[in-house]
Structures are given as C-alpha cells and as structure tokens.
A and B are shown apart, each in its own frame.
Chain A
Amino acid sequence: MLEYTLKRIAYTIPIGLAVSLVCFMLVHISPGDPIDSIVPPDTPTEVIEQIRAEYGLDRPLPVQYGLWLSRALQGDFGESISKGRPIGPDLWVATKNSLMLAAFGATLGFVIGCVLGGAAGAFRDSWIDKLCLGIALFGVSVPHYWLGMVLVIIFSVQLNLLPSMGMGPTGPWAWDWDHLRFLVLPAVTLSLIPAGLVTRTVRGLVSDIMGQDYITTLRGKGLRTSGIVLHVIKNAAPTTLAVMGLQLASLLGGSILVEAVFAWPGTGMLLNNAIFQRDLPVLQATTLVLAFFFVFLNLIVDLAQTALDPRMRRT
C-alpha cells in the first residue's frame, strides 16, 4: 500500500506538468490579442510593443511557460491585466469561497444521492425506486442556473426567507447563521447534479451487489439485515467515493453559472470576469489552480479506493 501510494503520488508530477502546459497553451492559441483589451484602439505600435514586453508576452513561448510556471509554483501568478494588481490574493480568496460552496454542495448531493440511491437499489422496481429515479433524473436534467433562479424567486422574493446574493456581511467570514444563510440557496442548487449522479450510481451498485452470490451466503449465515447492509456499504463505497470525488472537482470549476446567479465571489466569478475582459494571466492562473485541484482530488480518490478495495492493491 505504501509503495503504491508513493508511486501514485509520483505519477501526479508528469500529470501536473502536462496539465499546466495545456492551461498555458489554451490561452495562447485562443484568438485575439490580450493587449487589445487594455489599450485604446488607436495606440501606436511602439506603445503596444512596450506593454507587451512589460508583461513578458514578447518572449518565445517555452520561455514564457517556464517563467510563468516557476513563478506560479511560488504563489506568484503575476498581475491582472484588467485590475493592475497581483492575482495571488484575489485568487486565493476566490478559491477558498468556491471550495466552501463546492464542499457544501457536494456533501449535500452525496448524502441525498446515497439515501435516494440506496432506497432505490434496495427496493428495485418498486414505486420507491421509480420515485427516487424520477428525482435523480430531474436533478441531472434540469439546468441548474434556472433552478437557482426559481429558488431565488420562491425563497428570497416571495417568502423572503433566504438571501439571494453574495456572501453576507462584509468583513471576514464567520460560521454563524448570518453568514451561513447565504450559502443555503447556492449550495442546494449546486447539489442537484451530484445528487442525481450519485443516486444513479448508488442505485446501480446496491441492486447489483444485492444480487451477488455473497449476499445469499450472508443470508445463509443468518446475518440480520443490519449486518448485510454493512457488506453492501463496504462494497459500494469505492465506486461511490470515486464518483463523488470527481463531482467535487467538477463543482469547483463548473459552478460558473451558479456563482453568477448568486453573485458568489468564487473562482467561477473570477473566470467569468477574466473571460469577458480578456484577462489572460487571471484566466491562466485560475484554470491552473482548478486543474491542480482536479489532479489532487483524483489522487485522493485513487488512494481512498485502493485503501477500501483489497482487490485493487495489487499494482
């Protein structure tokens, strides 16, 4: 296990490099000149060239990449073209905010998915199964920014129960209801897709596991239902956690629309603004951080899966 862990960690280095290269290149092969967005259209060419040199955009690409990566690894992501200040602190705050939202959304989705999926799988083909599957289908197919707006209309506009925008009172975040209530609607909206996916995964797993020979063996040993449930959970856990880990990762980056709907100051907002302002360094830095999270969560998922399933330990 230790050997596998070390090997698996070592693998993330080339993966991380490749990912960073892709992040870097994606921005450079996209059409348009970033300088155009910060200078007036009639700026003389010499001035443009001078600005270009200031940002290091005149050097050969491999050099730019090397410089960018080595600085990024030290936490220096350069300056935002649109805001004219260092990217690092802003990115750090946005990542923290997004992580918090994604963690809440994913956990909520995970719990809902496990309950619905477990019930559906255990009572396969009954009305419970159909009900749970229906909810899951709704979760994965309804556009979630649309649902976000519906929730805002119901809970903020009509009932006036929950706030619809931002992260609450200015000043540092605190774990009290005054702040947490701002998290409710975006987290519920965000939980929808993972809830649906986890429901379907868990349903399939549970009904598959319950049909396995070893469940008959367990019944044949006279185990009670509670004892059998333990076996079902341990067998279903590796795959469920894998699905969940990847969902958490994609929530981190994929919540652009939900963050926009709820004006949540996370990476989604940051990316959104960067795209519209052609703010290349911010785009690169944010993508890179999200991609690294993805790689990191993948690593965690793999290690957790290997720890839970003895059949995967042979490398």
Chain B
Amino acid sequence: MNMASPATAASPTPLVRARDLCVSFATPRATVNAVNGVNLDLAQGESLCILGESGSGKSVTLRALMRLNPPKRTVVTGELNVANQDVMQMTQAQLSQYRGPVVSMIFQEPLSALDPVFTIGHQIAEAIVRHEGISRKAARARALSLLELVQIPSAARRLGAYPHELSGGLRQRAMIAMALSCNPRLLLADEPTTALDATVQIQILLLLRKLQRELGMGVIFVTHDIGVASEVADRVAVMYGGRVVEEAPVEILIRSPRHPYTSGLLGATVHAGTRGTRLTTIPGAPPDLAELPAGCAFAPRCTRAEPGCHKAVPPLLEVTAGHHVRCPVVCPARIQAPINV
C-alpha cells in the first residue's frame, strides 16, 4: 500500500489535494464555521481516516469534497483538486458528471440514505444508466454483479427488494454496491458502520478493505472508532473545531499521539487495535462554531493551555516525517524535555 505522506503526495499525481478548505453555513441565527482551513492529500489507492468528536466537521469536510453541502446556504472557499480536476470551478452540470464516476459516498444510515419507494436494483442501475448511457437492462445486469461483488446472498432476488425489506448489514452492502457502481477513483465513507451491530461492522469493514485493495481506490473514512481507524486506514487525521489538529500514519498516531486533544481522545492508556474502543470523553464542550475563539480552539478544554494559546491559531507543524501537529506547546523544540503536567 502506498504510504504517501503530505510531503511526498504532492509529487506524482495526488488523487486529492485540498488547501485551506473552508466551509460555512449561513443560518438564520449565525454563520456556522464548520470547516476552517483543512489541507488534505491523498494518493491513489491510499486510505485516510478522519477522527474526531461529534460536530468537529468531519461529515461537512467529506461532503465538501463532493460539493454536496446544501447549495443555497453553504459557502465553500479554498482549493480542491480531485483526480486532476478543479472541483471548486465546476458548474452544476460538471459536478453531476464528477459525482459517481470520480467520487462517491457511502452514508452512515443506509435506511434513510436509500429511497424507500424504489427497489435496490433500480437505485443502483439508475446511476449506471446516467453515467454510462447503457440500457436499463444492461445496467440491471451490472447491478446484479455489483450485489455479488459486495457478497449479498441470493443477489438476484435482492435486486427487486425495497430498502426496508433488507437487514441493516445487507442495506449497507447495497449502499456500497451503489457507491461502487460507476467505478469511482475516490470513495468517501461517512461512518459506514456506526448504524450496525458489532459483528456486522467487522464484516463490512473487511469487505471495504478488500474492495479498496482490489479496486485500487483512494478511500477517506470518517469514524468515531479508533479500532475502525486502525483496521482500515494508512493515515489518520484528527479534527477539532473544523481544523486538522494532528495527522500521522496510523501506528504512529495510535502509539504516540502528540496533540493534547488526540491524547485525550485516545485516553491515558491506549489499547490500540481494540475494535469498539470508543473515544474517551474529554471534559468540557466542543467550541461554538458560530463564534470560534481567536486562538487554539481546544484551549478552553486543554489542561496544558498557556497564555499564548489564546492569541492566535497555532500552525500545523511537522514533528517527524509525516507526523503533523497543530500545537506549539508540544512542538519539536520542547518534546525533548520530559513533559510534566
């Protein structure tokens, strides 16, 4: 697997390159700054996991990669290139050709993300008909082979099933089949297993990992679950208040997290790889995205905050190759010294 770090990913052809991506929503009450300057790099065939508390902007970031946030009240700025296409400049017509064949998404709750009054077969086939212009019959045949690819038993029968007639696990498999239907180069998965029971979760994760390797897609995963991250990801990015606060190859991040928020998330003693390990809760509440503090967004909850933390947003610093941390307090010059809290 390609272990590209942000530094090297820029070289040949990065699949995804986002710079200073910002997303805000105009709501009647205030402007919600959900994503505030995210840089992302993903190589072909690489898999990145985005980790973070609820409300940290993970889903909004994923949707921004597809320009899928509600168009009317969303403002997106920054640079975004996917598969050598400038996504920010795309018209609605270009976007509708980009979504599907280039990038597609698996949603968290397959029951609500599938249309209840159309069959699974129809919903998979319509994307194929749309993008490849083949006949409905040929598209249905493709849909059948996709259902077999995602290991749905008695696939032919399920083509005619409605979403409510399938179990949660089968529904999520159908969703995956739908996302794969136009051979995307980038697959986005927004908490694809959260709605499922533990055993089904494992099966779906293994399936996704297998498909990613076989089809060579780039994958960006959003999850709450460290176990999931260590299972499927090459690299992990931790988000807080709409910013990436730490990013590193998965073993490094789990073994030696640097950012106080990451350490807090992973808990004092980390049993990495234990699937189902929920992120520890950190005292205090996530920041109000309508009124972000001027400095480090984590400062109000940080046990190691210093006066300087409240002044300006800390930069993302590289501590070791491929390991970036947004916290000057734990930056390289000071890591040498033993840390006493």
**In contact, B98 and A222 (Cβ under 8 angstroms):** yes
Contact with B68, one of A219, A231, A310 (Cβ below 8 angstroms) = A219
Does B212 sit within 8 A of A, measured CB to CB? no
Residues in B with CB closer than 8 Å to A227 are 126, 130
**In contact, B130 and A224 (Cβ under 8 angstroms):** yes
Chain A positions 278 through 315: 1 when the CB is less than 8 Å from some CB of chain B, otherwise 0: 00000000000000000000000000000011110000
**In contact, A221 and B126 (Cβ under 8 angstroms):** yes
Chain B positions 88 through 112: 1 when the CB is less than 8 Å from some CB of chain A, otherwise 0: 0000000111111100110101001
**In contact, A217 and B101 (Cβ under 8 angstroms):** no
Does B4 sit within 8 A of A, measured CB to CB? no
**In contact, A214 and B162 (Cβ under 8 angstroms):** no
Contact-size category for A: 20 to 34
Residues in B with CB closer than 8 Å to A308 are 117
Residues in A with CB closer than 8 Å to B117 are 231, 234-235, 308-311
Does B209 sit within 8 A of A, measured CB to CB? no
Taking chain A's interface residues, is the majority helix, strand, or loop, or is none over half, making it mixed? helix
Most buried by B among A212, A213, A219, A222: A222
Tell me the minimal C-beta distance from A49 to chain B in angstroms: 63
**In contact, A213 and B109 (Cβ under 8 angstroms):** yes
Does B133 sit within 8 A of A, measured CB to CB? no
**In contact, B127 and A222 (Cβ under 8 angstroms):** yes
**In contact, B127 and A223 (Cβ under 8 angstroms):** yes
Q: Chain B residue with minimal CB distance to A216?
A: B68
Residues in B with CB closer than 8 Å to A222 are 95-101, 127, 130-131, 182
Residues in B with CB closer than 8 Å to A221 are 99-100, 104, 126-127, 130, 178
Tell me the minimal C-beta distance from B243 to chain A in angstroms: 24
Chain A positions 187 through 212: 1 when the CB is less than 8 Å from some CB of chain B, otherwise 0: 00000000000000000000000001
Contact-size category for B: 20 to 34
**In contact, B116 and A231 (Cβ under 8 angstroms):** no
**In contact, A224 and B115 (Cβ under 8 angstroms):** no
Residues in B with CB closer than 8 Å to A223 are 96, 126-127, 130
**In contact, A235 and B130 (Cβ under 8 angstroms):** no
**In contact, A217 and B107 (Cβ under 8 angstroms):** yes
Residues in A with CB closer than 8 Å to B165 are 310
Q: Contacts A220-B68, A220-B105, A222-B96 given; indicate if A311 touches B126 (C-beta within 8 A).
A: no
**In contact, B100 and A213 (Cβ under 8 angstroms):** no
Tell me the minimal C-beta distance from B104 to chain A in angstroms: 6
CA distance A218 to B107 in the complex (A): 12
CA distance A216 to B96 in the complex (A): 12
Q: Contacts A222-B131, A223-B126 given; indicate if A234 touches B113 (C-beta within 8 A).
A: no
Residues in B with CB closer than 8 Å to A235 are 115-117
Does B164 sit within 8 A of A, measured CB to CB? yes
Contact with B116, one of A219, A220, A224, A311 (Cβ below 8 angstroms) = A311
Residues in B with CB closer than 8 Å to A214 are 112-116
Q: Contacts A223-B127, A231-B118, A310-B164 given; indicate if A217 touches B113 (C-beta within 8 A).
A: yes
Contact with B113, one of A213, A224, A310 (Cβ below 8 angstroms) = A213
Interface residue ranges, B against A (CB under 8 Å): 66, 68, 95-101, 104-105, 107, 109, 112-118, 126-127, 130-131, 162, 164-165, 178, 182
| Complex A-B: 23 CB contacts under 8 Å | A213-B107, A213-B113, A214-B115, A216-B68, A216-B107, A217-B107, A217-B113, A220-B100, A221-B126, A222-B99, A222-B101, A222-B127, A222-B130, A227-B126, A231-B115, A231-B117, A231-B118, A235-B116, A308-B117, A309-B116, A310-B116, A311-B117, A311-B162
Having A214-B112, A227-B126, A309-B117, one finds 6 other A-B pairs with CB under 8 Å, namely: A214-B114, A219-B96, A220-B66, A310-B117, A311-B116, A311-B117
